[in-house]
Structure 1
Amino acid sequence: MTRGSQSVPGSAAKTALVTGAAGFIGFHCCQALMAAGYRVVGLDALSDYYDVALKRDRLTQLEGDFQFVEGAVEAPGLLLDLFASHKFDVVIHLAAQAGVRYSIDNPRAYLDSNISGTFELLEAARAYPPRHMLLASSSSAYGANTQMPYGESAPSDHPLSFYAATKKAGEAMAHSYAHLYNLPITLFRFFTVYGPWGRPDMALFKFTRAILNGQPIDVYNHGDMKRDFTYIDDLVAGITALIDQVPEIDKPVSAQDSLSPAAPWRIVNLGNSKPVALTEFIAAIEAATGRVAQQNLLPMQAGDLPATWADTTLLEALTGPQQHTDLRTGVARFVQWYRAYYGV
């Protein structure tokens, strides 16, 4: 289906593909790209991993020069046809099977979407090269590495979940295509992202729902965890700022650049660069809801990390100083959205 108005006749608007367009981050990226004057084609399978109605409601908010295509990235030939039809200037690949814990129970979903889907994308780009491809990875790729803050060149050879393994595999696959076919590729390693229209399987959504319903929340590792919580607007600002930072071989921006010596390929952390204790995060939700959380303290779950912390030196070297939304402000905005959306 297609929504929105046509672009101004004679305008030189660029065309962007956003995979995972009905997802949390993809939805916000589509909004930002249209605000910047892009024509946007959004692809999403509308999978039932979580509430499809929420995904459809996100899509109804996308007003502008937007075309939605329903389909799975791993479907053979689908992406190739889209690339042939639109000749994309920019590709932002966010479609993936998300969730560390779900990958323990259903690893094949991650194989199909995260590995086969990335392969289909790279094959389409090989046939119809965009100016720049930006692919989502994850801070989970750092795995068992305990040296923090995580820098892009830190070891990432020991993934702790199959989800993390598929993200690491996607990085390696992208490097090979960047090298063989001279495809400029930037990979993002996201740190814990939160904000309005977020995913129901993530902590902020689950905690807010439980607290407002007077139910206990499950707090793993007995609350002894830290996360580099990144507000959605800050994350999207980082993504869009990197669109014009096209990697070129032998042109690093700093000594800490992750630029490959053999390909126009780099990895960039997108985070808040400030780890926050889980107890502080819960306190922010309590403040925003006006309720006290009942906490069910549990041991660490398999595949989880006790802490994450992004070194964003490279991001700032590429794009300049980044915006950082205060945690309590960001959480309050989510709770306000949640109350309005669910009529609480």
Structure 2
Amino acid sequence: MGWRDEWPSMPDGTPYDGKHLLLLARAGKSPFDGVWDVRLLVREIEEKLNTRVTDIPFIDKGSNNYGILLKTADGRDMVARLARSDVNMPDFDDFPVAVQGAEVRFESTVYHLLRSEVLLLDQAATMRAALFRYDPPHDFSTQYFLERVFRFMPDSLSMPIAPTRDEGDMIRWEDDEETVGPRALAAKQALLKAIPCLLPPETPEASLFRLVLEYGDFGIHNMTITKKVNGEPVVTSLFDWETACIWPALLSDPLMAVSPVDLIVDEDAGPSVTRLPEDATPADLETYKTWASHYVKRLYHEDPGYKAVIRAGKDFRYLWYALRDWRGGDSEKFFGALGAWAEKWIQELEGPI
């Protein structure tokens, strides 16, 4: 058995379709029997929220959690999250309890911090721009900045956390005992020389180095959405802050996940699309392009400074996201290519390294 719950099957062997869970549980036919108790979950929700659950129309699973749609006697629709793993499960291999506890405390703090702002926003681009404009309290940033950067962060910082262009401490990789070759070692020197030059000076159009609360997984899949009487959709909340972090505005990523693609901006801050399906038709591609153009246009309308930040920091952003997205393997090829890019960049700026 794996350390995450497997999606259940029905008695005839077909995968459970996620529907009518409460009815099945009350009839003693819950697909999750023996794994977790649907009735116990419902009882806890009813007790904590002083309501009565009347239906569970649908349940689905993500990488780490179930998403459960609930209907209640007082007319509220709710979304509950339930972890797909338990520290008491055999062969449990997730983050230790101390790490998970820190994740929960951080997410709870963010919900409390942003509840009044986020719940009033009715469109994804407006929400993203509002989050970009939001200045988290200094004590909040000080407490969580280092903890939320990456897993290969240093144990401490040698300078106070502040919105500054100073490079400060170098982030190091965790010790994976990998031996690197001459290309990777040479690339390190080129990158170290390039980084101070890659960091742009402040611009009057926007503050590049103020600290922002970066969501990390912005998209439809992490929003609750309802409809007005006239049928128009309204985003009512943004949840699942476990991937959030605090870093300079220069590095903010406006990516918006909409099934089945991600709406992004290119290095010149123009609209673009990634994660395209292999079977996308020309009509699909045109639709995705229209979505990206609309989202980015609205985003910049809400906060023109966002566009200025992306343009000003395009070279440093390229380096940062390349390092962030690297998943290991063939370090000679990866860092060799980055080193060659850095050398070319410096040569164009001030001559050979």
| TM-score of the aligned structures, taking structure 2 as reference length | 0.27
| TM-score of the aligned structures, taking structure 1 as reference length | 0.27
Q: From the CA coordinates, give the structure whose radius of gyration is larger.
A: 2
Query: Taking CA–CA contacts closer than 8 Å with sequence separation of 6 or more, which of the two structures ends up with the larger relative contact order?
Result: 1
